[in-house]
Amino acid sequence: MTVTPKKKTKTLTNRGKALRERRLRELEMRKAGMTYAQIAQAVGVSIKTVFLDIRSIVSPNADAYDLEMAVDLQRIEMALLPLAKGVRDGDHKAIDRWKQLIDTKHKLLNSNLNEIKAKQSTDLLVKVISEVELEKI
């Protein structure tokens, strides 16, 4: 007689669902411009918990700077959505605002890219050679 193992399914418990909903609510509050302290007070948790909750949704390995950048990028995306119809309709004000937001988004992404490149750059090792060693070469 062979026994087939049961397939593991990932289902959230009620507690897990509540936690996920709280984290999403905190993220929306942060994108709306609330501070971590304001969110913590509204939700009834510590400021650190709010930070960790938002980080767990946005980017689990992010530091505070990367997390804020990710939230800022999401804010820009939120601001772009209502402008889309105006841009499609040829509304010059909407097009100008769209361009400003896209430029801001690119600046944020470019600054992050420059930081990543700087972290990845390798140091150039320079050996000082004496005149005697130089003559041997």
The boundaries of the domain holding residue 104 are: 62-121
Residue 38: per-residue pLDDT: 93
Residue 74 lies in a domain: yes
Answer yes or no: is 134 within a domain. Answer: no
Domain-embedded: residue 127: no
In tens digits, the chain (137 residues) has pLDDT values of 566 655 555 666 888 888 999 999 998 998 888 889 999 999 999 999 999 999 888 887 778 888 888 888 888 988 888 998 999 999 999 999 999 999 998 888 887 666 666 666 555 454 555 666 656 65
Do both 46 and 71 map to the same domain?
no
The owner of tokens 């936690």 is: 19
How is 42-76 classified by DSSP, letter by letter?
A: HHTS-HHHHHHHHHHHH-TT--HHHHHHHHHHHHH
Do residues 69 and 99 share a domain?
Answer: yes
Q: Per the structure block, which two tokens stand in for 97?
A: 């605002």
Residue 131 lies in a domain: no
Write down the pTM of the prediction.
0.58
Predicted local confidence at residue 9, as pLDDT? 55
User: Is 2 inside any structural domain?
Assistant: no
* Phi and psi, residue 30, nearest 5°: -65, -45
Say yes or no: 54 and 32 in one domain.
yes
Query: What total of structural domains would you count in the chain?
Result: 2
